[in-house]
Amino acid sequence: MEIRSVGVVGLGTMGAGIAQVCAEAGFATVGREVSMELAEHARGRIEHFLTRKVEKGRLEQADRDAAMARLSLTTDLADLARCDLVIEAVVEELAVKSAVFAELDAVLAADAIVATNTSALSVTELAAASGRPARVVGMHFFNPAPLMPLVEVVRTEVAADDAYETAYAFAERLGKTPIRCHDTPGFVVNRVLIPLMNDCVRVLDEARITAEDLDTGLKHGAGWPMGPCELLDLIGIDIHVHASEALYDALREPRMAPPARLVRMAQAGLLGRKTGRGFFAYG
């Protein structure tokens, strides 16, 4: 199956980034949001990032304009009817995502593929909410999607071979580095990274160390390109806590549960870069 047109449902940080990547790679891309105000806000972010690439000499102006021309916006899921692949990137709540999958059944062609960008929820459960479970896969992009090369392509027990392999090949056509995995809580990277990051935060209190020194220790002692506190600020404290809670609910392993320190930070709105303050302050 050849993918020619792509739909992206949900144009928040991840969805907008995925839509940008698809449009840049030459695909007709339809972005759907619940309001045109939110959709236009996402278009503005995409325009900004592409313009910055032009200014830095990493993209030609003509290519920037062509990418933007390939992006269309809508509030109606019916406008995704001709899409060969739809990537769902709405809020990380099973009920919300399941409702989107059920609605897509009514408008998409029988052989269209539906992919979820979930980072922590069960792709199998989402496939069960669809009338086309064999055409459902996971495509977990990493934040920020235009910059991070990895895509975890997640297979359920009932996924059709052609749907799964088409999704994998599509990730390659985006210029990404995909890896294959089966549906399991946290998939690959988060299954390893989330408990590790939680351990790092617990060390802050147990070793009575500063966030600066912890980051310095991991960068210069373990070769990390970015310290754990800086990385959590980039991801978003709330995002990490939500994913950590989902993993703990699925596995009941103590290391998966978010440390109390992170929970308090999320409750206080100290979410990292996006709020201007997390472990560090951002001007």
Q: How confident is the model over 204-235, as pLDDT tens digits?
A: 999 999 999 999 999 999 999 999 999 999 98
The first and second tokens of residue 261, run together, are 């320190």
At 268, which CATH number? Answer: 1.10.1040.10
As a residue count, the chain comes to: 283
d(CA 133, CA 82): 19
Which of 24, 33, 88, 152 is an active site residue? 152
Task: Compute the Cα dihedral for 118, 120, 124, 130 and give only its sign.
Answer: negative
As a whole number of Å, the end-to-end CA separation of the chain is 48
263 pLDDT higher than 90: yes
Our answer to whether residue 152 is catalytic in this structure is yes
140 included as an active-site residue: yes
Residue 120's pLDDT is what?
A: 82
Q: Does pLDDT of 144 surpass 90?
A: no
* Span 162-200, pLDDT tens digits: 999 999 999 999 999 999 999 999 999 999 999 999 999
pLDDT of residue 88: 98
Is residue 119 part of the annotated active site? The answer reads: yes
Q: Which of 159, 182, 205 corresponds to the end of one domain?
A: 182
How far apart are the C-alpha atoms of 200 and 229, rounded to whole Å?
A: 8
Catalytic residue among 5, 119, 130, 244: 119
The pLDDT tens digits for 145-160 are 999 999 999 999 999 9
Cα→Cα distances 202→27, 258, 279, Å: 44, 10, 13
Residue 1 has pLDDT above 90, yes or no: no
> How many CB atoms neighbour CB 47 within 10 A?
15
Asked whether residue 282 is domain-assigned, the answer is no
Domain count, the chain: 2
Is residue 279 assigned to a domain?
no
140, 230, 240, 242: the catalytic one is 140
- Rounded CA-CA distance 109/80 in Å is 10
Residue 281 lies in a domain: no
Helical spans, DSSP H, in 207-277 = 211-221, 228-235, 237-251, 260-267
Query: What does the DSSP assignment read for 27-56?
Result: -EEEEE-SSHHHHHHHHHHHHHHHHHHHHT
Q: Rounded to two decimals, what is the model's pTM?
A: 0.92
| pLDDT computed for residue 76 by the predictor | 96
CA gap 31, 7 in Å, rounded: 6
Q: Is residue 114 part of a domain?
A: yes
pLDDT over 70 for what percent of the chain?
Answer: 100
User: Residue 72: what pLDDT?
Assistant: 98
143 pLDDT higher than 90: no
- Domain limit, last residue, from 160, 182, 204: 182
Last residue of a domain, one of 132, 150, 182: 182
What is the extent of the structural domain holding 33? Answer: 5-182
Catalytic residue list contains 198? no
